[in-house]
């Protein structure tokens, strides 16, 4: 078990107050806070090793290159990738998915081919496919959701056909907290000859992910949702697929040779890393991975599940609260999405903020999910390693304050 | 901080939120104007009857947060009976108020002045601004259509 109270000391920001109240940070699905080790790694890089990588023959360039490439190996180990050649640095999950949609999609999709997605996807796993479908004539189809926010697997069975060329699916829903059982789904897709892209933005930070065991073809995630800096995303790709794909962006670093009218490409993974990458933030991401590895991802998942279980219990007891997502705790991660009767999430969020509680209020970049739930938006509390049961209590108390605030009967006012 | 909450959600605002005035849609309106805040999904639709240059009647339909819905309700009360010139003046005054300008003393804002509390909450300004933008665009369109040959 994690000792969250002890871990909090590692996160400078958690010591601050918001509107004179101790900060309760429950917006971890948007971005997590950073431990001192990550902030220090960033400072250390710029004050000690900073240089551009893969060129230059001086000491600093060599140190920077080593530090950058070491994180690639660390990531490969973290997700059990057979090779670090499969690990590509991008800006974020969104760019990782766009890379696959553009580089793999344009080369492999033709009119009438199908891209099978789900109604649960974040906009970043919808819009890139809409763009590539428009460009190639491929057709999008979707697996719908049950009322409690799980994939309709019988619909998946029906819609997965020999026309399906790619399946894009989230590992864990950022709007509902649903964790999808992917192993069977991926096996079925492969039997039909489709490749599978997994949006791991919410899973890789929160539970053990093993790409060999999952057998997915692509996995996309972001550093900033797992203690690392913003501006670093990762794409894992099956080596044979990456080898066959054309480049995504063109420029420096991704080439083997350049003539005025044509070029040849660098080898993996650099073929997909055009231009100077976000070196310092990648290096600092290494410190975040060290931190999580020190805790162990099974312990991270167990901690968040315990908090989610406690939150569901406390919030269910509040009159007027509607909770979304699977009722079985085993099928969800540390995200609790809800609404308060008769109130818009933004009004709830504003009052919670006045109480020092940071939650997300909105559509969570998952408008199709909101439409499926029949709501414009929800209030979302999302947990991480440093959250405590006391903070769940603060959230529950905060919601009671909101209810009280809006149930004041206004005095008669002139009409 | 709860005092600031009271300043944002003034009693008159909460009253209009819970008991909105002039809700509905006028059949065959002279002017129809609708719009949304894509970021938060607030929706407002106004329908107006004009009598020459004067707002004879107005209704609104909407979904969204307390600030956006109360603003629409208060707007309908304030502009009913006003001339279009007065309405345009009011729209400008309210947009100015939202942008942090001092209230124009020549324009009587009535209850609308309570919306000034929103200025301390930058992320909520768009909630109060929505109705004014929607109405302004609707009137502008009506004006242009009226001048078309």
Identify the contact set of chain A against chain B, taking CB-CB distances under 8 A. Answer: 19-21, 343-344, 346-347, 350-351, 354-355, 362-363, 370, 376-377, 405-406, 408, 410-411, 413, 415
Q: Which of A291, A269, A120, A146 is nearest to A201 (CA)?
A: A120
Radius of gyration of chain B (CA): 15
Please state, in angstroms and rounded to a whole number, the distance separating the CA atoms of residues A144 and A373.
Answer: 12
Fold of the A4-30+297-403 domain:
3.90.1150
CA distance to A121, A168, A201, B43, per residue, from A127 (Å): 10, 12, 16, 24
Q: Which of A326, A352, A291 is nearest to A176 (CA)?
A: A326
At residue A415, the pLDDT reads 38
In a domain, B41, yes or no: yes
Chain B interface mutation, best of A27, A350, A360, A398, highest count of B Cβ atoms under 10 Å: A350
A41-72 residue pLDDT tens:
999 999 999 999 997 789 999 999 999 999 99
Q: How much of chain A exceeds pLDDT 70, in percent?
A: 98
Which residues of B fall within a CB distance of 8 Å from A359? Answer: none
B28-79 residue pLDDT tens:
999 999 999 887 778 999 999 999 999 999 999 999 999 999 999 999 999 9
Residue A413: band (very low, low, confident or very high) from pLDDT cuts 50, 70, 90: very low
Domains held by chain B: number: 1
What stretches of A223-377 adopt beta strand conformation (E)?
A: 233-237, 255-258, 263-265, 321-324, 335-340, 357-358, 360-362
Q: Look at the pTM and tell me if it is higher than 0.90.
A: yes
Higher-scoring residue by pLDDT: A411, A110:
A110
Residue B148: band (very low, low, confident or very high) from pLDDT cuts 50, 70, 90: low
Contact status, residue A157 vs residue A141, Cβ threshold 8 Å:
no
Which residues 6+ apart lie within 8 Å of A255 measured at CB?
A: A263, A264, A265, A266
State phi, psi for B112 to the nearest 5 degrees.
-60, -25
Given an 8 Å threshold on Cβ–Cβ distance, is A350 in contact with B121? yes
A334-391 residue pLDDT tens:
999 999 999 999 999 999 999 999 999 999 999 999 999 999 899 999 999 999 999 9
Please state, in angstroms and rounded to a whole number, the distance separating the CA atoms of residues A303 and A288.
Answer: 18
Please state, in angstroms and rounded to a whole number, the distance separating the CA atoms of residues A315 and B101.
Answer: 42
* Closest CA of chain B from A412, distance in Å: 8
CATH 3.40.640.10 residue ranges of chain A are: 38-293
In a domain, B13, yes or no: yes
A206-248 residue pLDDT tens:
999 999 999 999 999 999 999 999 999 999 999 999 999 999 9
The parent domain of residue B111 ranges over 2-144
Given an 8 Å threshold on Cβ–Cβ distance, is A406 in contact with B66? yes
Q: Which of B25, B47, B28, B53 is nearest to B146 (CA)?
A: B53
Q: What is the ipTM of this complex?
A: 0.88
CA distance to A26, A277, A321, A323, A402, per residue, from A318 (Å): 19, 48, 6, 11, 12
User: Taking the CA of residue A319 as centre, how many other CA atoms within 13 Å lie in the half-sphere pointing to its CB?
Assistant: 3
CATH 3.90.1150.10 residue ranges of chain A are: 4-30+297-403
The CATH number covering residue B121 comes to 3.90.1010.10
At residue A414, the pLDDT reads 38
Given an 8 Å threshold on Cβ–Cβ distance, is A376 in contact with B41? yes
Contact status, residue B64 vs residue B127, Cβ threshold 8 Å:
yes
Residue B13 pLDDT greater than 60, yes or no: yes
In a domain, B149, yes or no: no
Mean pLDDT in residue range A74-89? 98
* Check whether domain A38-293 has CATH 3.40.50.920, yes or no: no
Lowest mean pLDDT among A36-45, A295-304, B93-102: B93-102
Mean pLDDT in residue range A14-39? 97
């Amino acid at each position: 078990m994690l000792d969250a109270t002890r871990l909090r000391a590692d996160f400078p920001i958690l010591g601050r107050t918001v509107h004179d109240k101790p900060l309760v940070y429950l917006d971890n699905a948007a971005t997590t806070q950073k431990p001192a080790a990550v902030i220090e790694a960033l400072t250390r890089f710029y004050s000690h090793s900073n240089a551009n990588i893969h060129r230059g023959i001086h000491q600093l360039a060599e140190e920077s290159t080593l530090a950058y490439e070491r994180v690639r190996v660390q990531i490969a180990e973290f997700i059990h990738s057979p090779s670090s050649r499969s690990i590509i640095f991008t800006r974020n999950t969104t760019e990782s998915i766009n890379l696959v949609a553009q580089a793999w999609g344009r080369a492999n999709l033709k009119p009438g081919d199908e891209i099978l997605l789900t109604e649960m996807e974040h906009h970043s796993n919808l819009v890139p496919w809409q763009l590539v479908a428009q460009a190639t004539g491929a057709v999008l189809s979707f697996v719908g959701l049950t009322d409690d926010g799980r994939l309709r697997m019988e619909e998946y069975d029906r819609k997965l056909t020999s026309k399906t060329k790619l399946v894009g699916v989230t590992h864990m829903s950022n709007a509902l907290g649903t964790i999808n059982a992917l192993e069977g789904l991926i096996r079925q897709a492969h039997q039909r000859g489709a490749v599978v892209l997994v949006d791991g933005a919410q899973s890789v930070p929160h539970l053990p992910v093993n790409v060999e065991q999952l057998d997915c073809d692509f996995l996309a995630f972001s550093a900033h949702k797992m203690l690392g800096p913003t501006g670093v995303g990762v794409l894992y790709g099956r080596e044979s697929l990456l080898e066959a794909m054309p480049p995504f962006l063109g420029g420096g670093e991704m080439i083997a040779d350049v003539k005025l009218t044509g070029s040849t490409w660098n080898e993996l993974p650099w073929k997909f890393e055009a231009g100077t990458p976000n070196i310092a933030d990648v290096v600092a991401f290494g410190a975040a991975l060290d931190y999580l590895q020190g805790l162990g991802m099974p312990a991270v998942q167990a901690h968040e599940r315990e908090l989610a279980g406690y939150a569901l219990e406390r919030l269910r007891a509040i009159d007027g609260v509607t909770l979304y997502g699977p009722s079985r705790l085993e099928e969800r991660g540390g995200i609790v999405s809800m609404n308060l009767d008769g109130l818009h999430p933004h009004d709830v969020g504003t009052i919670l903020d006045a109480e020092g509680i940071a939650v997300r209020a909105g559509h969570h970049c998952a408008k199709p999910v909101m439409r499926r739930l029949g709501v414009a938006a929800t209030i979302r509390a999302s947990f991480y390693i440093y959250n405590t049961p006391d903070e769940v209590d603060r959230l529950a108390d905060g919601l009671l304050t909101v209810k009280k605030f809006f149930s004041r009967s206004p005095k008669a006012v002139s009409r | 901080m709860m005092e600031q909450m009271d300043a944002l959600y003034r009693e008159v605002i909460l009253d209009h939120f819970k008991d909105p005035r002039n809700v509905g849609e006028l059949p065959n309106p002279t002017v129809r104007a609708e719009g949304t805040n894509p970021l938060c999904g607030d929706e407002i639709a106004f329908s107006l009857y004009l009598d020459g240059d004067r707002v004879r009647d107005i209704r609104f339909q909407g979904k969204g947060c307390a600030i956006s819905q109360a603003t629409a309700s208060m707007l309908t009360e304030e502009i009913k009976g006003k001339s279009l010139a007065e309405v345009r003046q009011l729209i400008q005054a309210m947009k100015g108020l939202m942008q942090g300008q001092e209230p124009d003393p020549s324009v009587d804002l009535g209850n609308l002045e309570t919306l000034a509390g929103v200025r301390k909450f930058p992320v909520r300004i768009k909630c109060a601004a929505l109705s004014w933008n929607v109405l302004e665009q609707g009137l502008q369109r009506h004006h242009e259509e009226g001048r078309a040959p």
